[in-house]
């Protein structure tokens, strides 16, 4: 189809993007996506602001496929509204498609004042296509974030990246972590990066850190001992 024909189809689709029924709006976005044409850029960017998460998710995915670098700014802003849903992965996946430019956007986003943006950026920096030393440094810094969900995704991404430079920062993070799920995740990451023999060493560090004034609703020492027992029971 030529541009004139594409424009005609887009014009016919546009009213459905304003429909009160979210399913109608979703089908409209899907039609735009199937056109896979640069002329769909503006309506897809507009759909990123839709109230329905499925509409936003598909819009983000299609923008990534278009490959227009103008989408990077819109997708980065969208990270602030994509909270722990498949649509967040759509926005992140779209940014990752831009490679170096997408990584730069995520590195900037992880410094945002918005915790949802930081959380999604931490998640994205662990993706296979863009993980490297810059991602590791940003994720290590995020281990000190005030929001536990940002810290969790930073820990999780460090597991995916698998860089040994994170071992000591993770050990320090374990000593100050106040969220149970985060602490358990740190133990799993440390096992991967440093080997199962790291647990007895951690136990000594934890015993020392227990003397510090850190309020926890869980027994960190217990979890370390539990990991040691599991290692002993499964030596391989």
Residues 164-208: tens digit of each pLDDT: 999 999 988 988 888 989 988 998 899 888 877 777 777 766 655
Residues 60-98: tens digit of each pLDDT: 999 999 989 999 999 999 888 766 566 678 889 899 889
Annotate the chain with three-state secondary structure. Answer: CCHHHHHHHHHHHHHHHHCCCHHHHHHHHHHHHHHCCHHHHHHHHHHCCCCCHHHHHHHHHHHHHHCCCCHHHHHHHHCCCCCCCHHHHHHHHHHHCCCHHHHHHHHHHCCCCCHHHHHHHHHHCCCCCCCCHHHHHHHHHHCCCCCHHHHHHHHHHHHHHCCHHHHHHHHHHHHHCCCHHHHHHHHHHHHHHHCCCHHHHHHHHHHHHCCCCCCCCCCHHHHHHHHHHHHHHCCC
Task: Indicate whether 211 pLDDT > 50.
Answer: no
The larger pLDDT score, comparing residue 155 to residue 221, is at 155
Task: Indicate whether 212 pLDDT > 60.
Answer: no
Task: Indicate whether 5 pLDDT > 60.
Answer: yes
Average pLDDT along the chain: 86
């Amino acid at each position: 189809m030529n541009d004139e024909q594409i424009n005609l189809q887009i014009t016919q689709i546009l009213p459905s993007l304003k429909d009160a029924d979210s399913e109608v709006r979703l089908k409209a976005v899907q039609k735009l996506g199937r056109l896979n044409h640069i002329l769909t850029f503006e309506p897809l960017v507009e759909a990123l602001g839709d109230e329905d998460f499925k509409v936003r998710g598909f819009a983000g995915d299609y923008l990534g496929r278009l490959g227009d670098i103008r989408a990077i700014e819109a997708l980065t802003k969208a990270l602030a509204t994509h909270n722990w849903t498949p649509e967040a992965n759509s926005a992140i996946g779209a940014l990752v498609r831009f490679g170096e430019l997408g990584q730069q956007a995520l590195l900037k986003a992880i410094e945002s004042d918005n915790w949802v943006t930081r959380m999604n950026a931490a998640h994205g920096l662990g993706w296979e296509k863009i993980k490297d030393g810059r991602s590791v440094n940003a994720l290590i810094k995020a281990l000190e974030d005030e929001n536990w969900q940002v810290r969790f995704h930073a820990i999780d991404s460090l597991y995916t990246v698998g860089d040994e430079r994170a071992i000591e920062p993770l050990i320090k993070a374990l000593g100050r972590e106040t969220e149970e799920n985060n602490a358990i995740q740190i133990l799993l990451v440390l096992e991967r990066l440093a080997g199962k023999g790291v647990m007895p060493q951690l136990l000594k560090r934890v015993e020392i850190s227990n003397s510090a004034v850190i309020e926890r609703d869980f027994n960190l020492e217990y979890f370390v001992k539990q990991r040691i027992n599991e290692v002993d029971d499964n030596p391989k």
